[in-house]
Amino acid sequence: MKQSVIRELSTPELKEKIEEEEKQLLKMKLNHAVSPLENPMKIGFYRKTIARLKTELRRRVLESEQNK
C-alpha cells in the first residue's frame, strides 16, 4: 500500500486497516510455520504495510496534540 493511499484514509479507516493487516499477518505466519509459503516475502510486505499505517496514525496523533 502506497503512502499516498494511506494518507487519504480517515483515522477510523486507518485503525480498521491496521487491525485487518495484523490479522492477515498472523494468519500468514501460522500458515508458514505449518507448511512453507510459496512466497515468504509477503510476510515482510505485510509487516512493512502495518508499520506504514501505524506511522501515519502516530503522525496524526502528534499533529492533533500539537494543534491544541
For position 27, what pLDDT does the model report?
95
What would the mean pLDDT of 47-57 be, rounded to a whole number? Answer: 96
Grid cell for residue 23? 490479522
For position 11, what pLDDT does the model report?
93
**Nearest in space to 27 (alpha carbons), one of 37, 13, 16, 17:** 37
Between CA 2 and CA 5 the distance in angstroms is 5
What would the mean pLDDT of 33-61 be, rounded to a whole number? Answer: 94
pLDDT, tens digit, 9 for 90 and up, residues 15-35: 999 999 999 999 999 999 999
For position 2, what pLDDT does the model report?
86
Assess if CATH 1.25.60 describes domain 3-66: no
What would the mean pLDDT of 58-68 be, rounded to a whole number? Answer: 91
Does pTM top 0.95 for this prediction? no
